[in-house]
Chain A
Amino acid sequence: MTQAAPDDLLKVAEIACDAAVKAGAEFADALAERGRDLSVSVEKNAIASTDARLRASISVRTFVAGGTGWWSASTTSEEAAREAGLRAAELAQAAESDPDFVSLVTPAPYPRVEGLYDEKLASLGAPDVASWITQNIDSALGVAADAVVSGEADAHWREYALANSLGVQAAQRTTYASVYTQVVLRRDGDVGSFYEWDSARKLTDFAPADLGAKTAGEAARYLGSRTIKTATMPVVLGPLASRAIFLGLCAAASAEDVQRKRSFLVAKKDEAIASEHVTLVDDPLVPGGLWSSRFDGDGFPHRRVTLVERGRLRTYLHSNYTAKKSGEANTGHATRVGIAPTNIRPALGQRTAAEIIGEVEDGIYVVLGHPSPDTASGQISALVDAGFRIEKGELTYPLKSTMVAGHALEWLRNVDAVSSDYREEPGLILPTVRIRSVRVASGD
């Protein structure tokens, strides 16, 4: 695999910006990128297809009196960059003005973030990627001979460069490996299933070999699922489910949504929005983190931000535009199309997940699900994709057709424990979280 230096991408981005300014744009920025994806997909314990994709693109944003024009194309040729700059400038001139726009970001030093690119991973071939998933088929079958395994293994490399008309120049290379495995067990007319994954930016953080065995073992636990009585009870969110509520909180903390008055966190800055057990840090600088990078989508230097401190909302997530509009500090959370968190790292508590579950007399444990609130209303109404009944501190049987509901702020204020142990994915901390009182609907 050839590895051209991002310098040539930087040149393409600068050509696009120059073309935009020449065409009348007051400000312009451009992102040029390319990459390669290798994917091996598995269906019913065999490889269904092996795919290779080459990617290239340029996206240009331009501004005239705050009105924005953007243009994207699937090529990084210099001629395409010039056309993209010109077209984007034409669109910005046609757009209506936005007096809240001040300017783009100016050059500033970027932090170092280690471990985002792994030359070994970038140079892997399809047979290497295939071995990750075929090992998992074998390890699943080793645990359950009747396992039906599906999934996908992927290896990506990407390099991109961002430039703007104020002199910002930023470039980065990344790699990414992942394996996703699902196991289905059909026994005596019943179905047990589960999925698991592993992902990393470098091979030393990547250990997918036993994923199949682990997934098959978990799938067997979901045979014999039952409904329960509709009631209000404690709900323990496992590491993967707790991420949904925290990501939902981050989505509502988008300053764009707050400024546009479509978030349930409007006017909540510096207020208590959660119990004192909840502290959330967003850290884009974690070495090897899945969401780590040196700069955001505006080209602003990344930094670590405390979003919630002992239940109190400390800041909204800002882009260059929203920060300048509000006069608040830019937190560096711009994407090319909006605002998003990076690596969310909740502060850990004092007791283990087992201890937290052990204290519940009558409740449920959510393993998989998407209990994310509606960003505007804060309402939650979600299916428990996979979970267990908790009785007298023990996980007793798997659940089916069971739902959880409430309001995000009510849930967050009712958090009465965050575990000391956690699932770690590169950059992320995924603890177990208990909510003392949640409306649970089910079929009995």
Chain B
Amino acid sequence: MPVGGVLLDGSSNMDRDAIKQQLERVRDAAIQRKVDFAEVRCASVAHSALVLQDGRADRLGAGKRAGMGVRVLSKGAWGFASTESLGESDWLASLEDAIGMATVSATRLDEPVILPDIPGVVDDVRTSFEIDPTSVSLDRKLAAVRGYEEASGRSARESVANLMTGYNDAHQIEIACNTRGALVSSETVRTLVWHAITAQNGTIRQRAREVRAGQAGFEIVEQTPAKELSVKAAERAVSLLSAPPAPAGKLPAVFHPSIAGLLVHEALGHNTEADAVLAGQSILDGRLGTKIAAECITVVDDSNIPGSWGSYQYDSEGTPGCRRVLVDKGTLKGFLHSLETAGKMGVEPTGSARADGFAHRPIVRMSNTMILPGQSSLEDLIADIDLGILLRAGQWGYVWCEKGQYTCHAGEGVMIRNGQLAEQVRNVSVSGLVLETLANALDVSRDFELKMPGNCGKDGQGMPVNGGGPYVKVREIVVGGQA
């Protein structure tokens, strides 16, 4: 059902060149209206999904969404308007709406926004993939998903209470056109497969979930064996049935790469978003060039990693994405920037302005954020810990940027006793203060994973991001356990 290379409004197909020409006419109308800057974006997504539950693929879905968003800077103030129409007259009406919105913003302005004078790029890019999901039959998709479910069932056997396996693909096209001359068309295919199991022993139930996702086609499914997805989830859920609760209190901890990914995204990453810094919301305000973490911590956000869930070539403002070193050996080196924040801070934009479809304006976002690996082994990291906890299977987290207080949820823990991994404990949340945790980092491993694809929420916008890192050893963290 999903379509490639075509923007659809349900009543007529418009090819990409026609869309580009229409965008340029609206852009030219904005120039005629003498705005400081205007950006006109058309975006479409066609998606499909299937869910296999308790042996039946009884829910199949698909759909498409397309529309246009226009953002104008007028007298130093921003206005934005969007429509789910693809008609030119509706787009021109939205332009007028956006200009009206900017007039409202101007009534309470801090200082006029001045964008850096960077010439726009003209380009057409498309992410590469091996197997176009639209070319894969439903039977083939179902067979793959059913294989995951059956393998999970064989692994968990009589412990199975419920199995769910899902598959989603999305084909996204975004064309951004602005008054600086940018005209960038980005075509992206993302594919995701997931498995969730609820295991049961008497009245005890434990749940585990695994996801594999990438900027890829159906090959991501074919390259993910069941042992890395559904069997992994099944084994964890079953073993958690007999695991005791995690302890409560402050403990030395080692984070698995998935938890390191959560930590670097939630605790540090959101604080490096320059819009938060300029809004007075970030604990990193005023700390550029200073030591904010231990020497072993180097943090990078890189939107150019081929195939990674959080990657892109151009952001929604038409600025090329890049690799940005945020923290180098503990020293804060830079922030993530849009055109606006780069202009305000007098630096180069980092291509970090991303919009969730056409109905939202671009805001500063992360892409693939990670702590870089070091030289130690996991065994080295735990060797001198008498009593601590290894936290694995990162699930979710959030941060209060202004206070630097964060929490992350681990799907399981393993106690560390006398320098050895000991008994498994149940899933648990941990908490800390960003700068304390980063300063208390003691070592990082050479083992590294970038496998935390997720949909990050900010200001009502969801965005594909990825996170990862090595194993990270921290002096202590608050563990919210029950024991």
Binding site for B on A (CB under 8 A): 40-57, 59, 66-75, 77, 79-80, 83-84, 87, 91-92, 94-98, 126-127, 130, 134, 137, 148, 150, 152, 182, 184, 186, 191, 193, 227, 230, 260-264, 266, 374-379, 381-383, 385, 400-407, 439-444
Shortest B210–chain A CB gap in Å is 15
B383 within 8 A of A: no
Q: Top 8 A-B pairs ranked by shortest CB distance? A: A80-B10, A403-B480, A46-B110, A72-B63, A441-B248, A230-B249, A43-B279, A148-B280
Give complex CA distance A347, B404 in Å. Answer: 37
Please give me the residue from chain A that is nearest to B483 by CB atom: A439
B77, B84, B97, B481: which contacts A57 (Cβ < 8 A)?
B84
Contacts A47-B104, A49-B105, A381-B429 given; does A79 touch B198 at CB 8 Å: no
Q: Is the CB of A55 within 8 A of B359?
A: yes
Contact residues in B for A444 (Cβ distance below 8 Å): 250
Report the minimal beta-carbon distance from A43 to chain B, rounded to whole angstroms. Answer: 4
**B11-A68 in contact (CB<8A):** no
* B25 part of interface (Cβ distance < 8 Å): no
Kindly identify which residue among A73, A74, A375, A400 contacts B433, using a CB–CB cutoff of 8 Å.
A400
Known contacts being A379-B427, A404-B480, A439-B481, is A261 close to B161, with CB within 8 Å? Answer: yes
A68 and B53 alpha carbons, distance in the complex (Å): 13
Q: How far is the CA of A46 from the CA of B106 in the complex (A)?
A: 9
The segment out of B54-62, B219-227, B291-299 that lies at the interface is B54-62
Interface residue from B81, B84, B481 paired with A52 (Cβ < 8 Å):
B81
Q: Report chain B residues within 8 Å CB of A67.
A: 58-60
Asked if B336 is at the interface of the complex by the 8 Å CB criterion, the answer is: no
Please report the C-alpha to C-alpha distance between residue A130 and residue B80 in the assembled complex, in whole angstroms. 14
Q: Are B205 and A383 in contact, CB atoms less than 8 angstroms apart?
A: no
Q: Which residues of chain A have C-beta atoms less than 8 A from B110's C-beta?
A: 44-46
List, in ascending order, chain A residues with CB within 8 A of B57's CB.
95-96
Which A residues touch B432, using CB under 8 A? 401
Of the candidate stretches B64-72, B186-194, B305-313, the one touching chain A is: B64-72
Task: Using CB atoms, name the residue of chain A closest to B199.
Answer: A376
- Confirm or deny: B82 has a beta carbon within 8 angstroms of a beta carbon on chain A: yes
B248 in contact with A439 (CB, 8 Å)? yes
Structural contact, B64 and A74, CB atoms closer than 8 A: yes
Distance in angstroms between the alpha carbons of A195 and B124 in the assembled complex: 43
Closest to A126 in B: B104
B405–A52 touching, CB < 8 Å: no
Beyond A50-B105, A79-B10, A130-B108, whether A260 also contacts B162 by CB under 8 A is yes
Chain B nearest Cβ from A323, distance in angstroms: 18
- What are 30 A-to-B residue pairs whose CB atoms are below 8 Å? A40-B104, A45-B110, A48-B78, A49-B101, A50-B102, A50-B104, A51-B80, A51-B81, A54-B83, A68-B60, A70-B59, A70-B60, A72-B65, A91-B61, A95-B57, A130-B104, A148-B279, A191-B402, A261-B161, A263-B205, A379-B245, A379-B427, A381-B409, A381-B482, A382-B480, A402-B478, A403-B429, A405-B428, A441-B249, A443-B250
Most buried by A among B10, B53, B100, B479: B10
User: Are A55 and B84 neighbours in the complex by a CB distance under 8 Å?
Assistant: yes
Contact status B84-A74, CB under 8 Å: yes
CA distance A36 to B431 in the complex (A): 39
Contacts of B430 in A (CB 8 A): 403
Contact B280 A91 (CB under 8 A): no
Cβ of B105 and Cβ of A44 under 8 Å apart? no
| A266 CA to B207 CA, complexed, in Å | 15
CB distance from A12 to the nearest CB of B (A): 11
* Distance A96 CA – B402 CA, assembled complex (angstroms): 50
Q: Shortest distance in angstroms between B362's beta carbon and chain A's nearest beta carbon?
A: 11
Q: In the complex, what's the smallest C-beta–C-beta distance from B144 to chain A, in angstroms?
A: 15
Contact partner of B431 (CB less than 8 A), chosen from A40, A263, A264, A401, is: A401
* Chain A residues, Cβ within 8 Å of B1: 87, 91
Q: Which residues of B contact A (CB under 8 A)?
A: 1, 9-11, 53-54, 56-67, 71, 77-85, 94, 97-98, 100-102, 104-110, 138, 161-162, 198, 200, 204-207, 245-246, 248-250, 275, 278-281, 283, 359-361, 400, 402-403, 405, 407, 409, 426-433, 459, 478-483
Interchain CB contact under 8 A, B207 and A262: yes
Contact status A75-B11, CB under 8 Å: yes
Q: How far is the CB of A82 from the nearest CB of chain B, in Å?
A: 9
Given A191-B403, A381-B481, A41:B459 Cβ within 8 A: yes
B residues near A126, Cβ cutoff 8 Å: 100-101, 104
Distance between Cα atoms of A150 and B60 in the complex (Å): 41
Closest to B102 in A: A50
Question: Judging by beta carbons under 8 Å apart, are A79 and B60 in contact?
Answer: no
Which listed residue, B60, B409, B426, B480, touches A91 by the CB 8 Å rule?
Answer: B60
Max chain A Cβ within 10 angstroms of own Cβ: one of B58, B80, B110, B429: B58
Q: Which of B98, B138, B248, B361 contacts A405 (CB 8 A)?
A: B248
Q: Which B residues touch A74, using CB under 8 A? A: 64-67, 84
Given contacts A52-B82, A75-B9, A126-B101, 11 further A-B contacts (CB under 8 A): A47-B77, A47-B109, A51-B101, A77-B11, A92-B60, A95-B60, A261-B162, A379-B482, A381-B481, A385-B405, A403-B248
Residues of A with C-beta under 8 A to B101: 49-52, 126
- A48 contacts which chain B residues (CB < 8 A)? 78, 105, 279
> What B residues does A47 contact at CB under 8 A?
77, 104-109
CB pair B478 A43 closer than 8 Å: no
Determine whether the beta carbon of B478 is less than 8 Å from that of A262.
no
Chain B residue at smallest Cβ distance from A444? B250
Chain B residue with the shortest CB-CB distance to A68: B59
Contact A71 B207 (CB under 8 A): no
A148 to B200, CA, bound (A): 49
CB distance A52 to B98 under 8 Å? yes
- B66: chain A residues within 8 A (beta carbon): 74
Provide the residues of chain A in CB contact with B359, threshold 8 Å. Answer: 53, 55
| A262 cross-chain contacts in B, Cβ below 8 A | 161-162, 198, 205, 207
CB-CB under 8 A for A73 and B250, given A52-B98, A130-B108, A381-B429: no
> Are B107's CB and A401's CB within 8 A?
no
**C-alpha gap A40/B78 in the complex (Å):** 10
Residues in chain B near residue A98, CB distance under 8 A: 56, 58
Given A69-B61, A262-B161, do A50 and B56 touch, yes or no (CB 8 Å)? no
* Residue in B59, B161, B482 whose CB lies within 8 Å of A406: B482
In the bound complex, residues from chain B placing their C-beta under 8 Å from that of A42 are 108
**A240 vs chain B, min Cβ distance (A):** 15
CB distance from A388 to the nearest CB of B (A): 15
Given contacts A48-B78, A98-B58, A262-B198, contact A383 B105 (CB under 8 A): no
Chain A residues whose C-beta falls within 8 Å of the C-beta of B433 in the assembled complex:
400-401
Task: Give Cα A262–Cα B245 distance, bound, in whole angstroms.
Answer: 19
Q: How far is the CA of A59 from the CA of B61 in the complex (A)?
A: 10
Which chain A residues lie closer than 8 Å to B429 at the CB level? 381-383, 403, 405
How many Å lie between the Cα of A53 and that of B63 in the bound state? 20
Contact B281 A127 (CB under 8 A): no
Q: Which of B205, B250, B427, B459 contacts A381 (CB 8 A)?
A: B427
CB distance from B394 to the nearest CB of A (A): 14
- A-side contacts of B10, CB under 8 Å: 73, 75, 77, 79-80, 83-84
CB distance from B161 to the nearest CB of A (A): 4
- Flag if A71 contacts B61 (CB, 8 Å): yes
On whether the beta carbons of A184 and B54 are closer than 8 Å, the reply is: no
Q: Is the CB of B60 within 8 A of A94?
A: yes
**Which residues of chain B come closer than 8 Å to A94, judged between CB atoms?**
60, 138
Output the least CB separation between A210 and chain B (Å): 18
Partner of A382, one of B59, B62, B407, B427: B407
Is B480 a contact partner of A383 (Cβ separation < 8 A)?
yes
Q: Are B361 and A130 in contact (CB under 8 A)?
A: no
In the assembled complex, which residues on chain B have CB atoms less than 8 Å from the CB atom of A57? 65, 84
Which chain B positions have C-beta within 8 A of A134?
A: 107-108
- In the bound assembly, the distance between CA atoms of A75 and B280 in angstroms comes to 39
Indicate which residue in A72, A95, A377, A401 contacts B405 across the interface (CB closer than 8 Å). Answer: A401
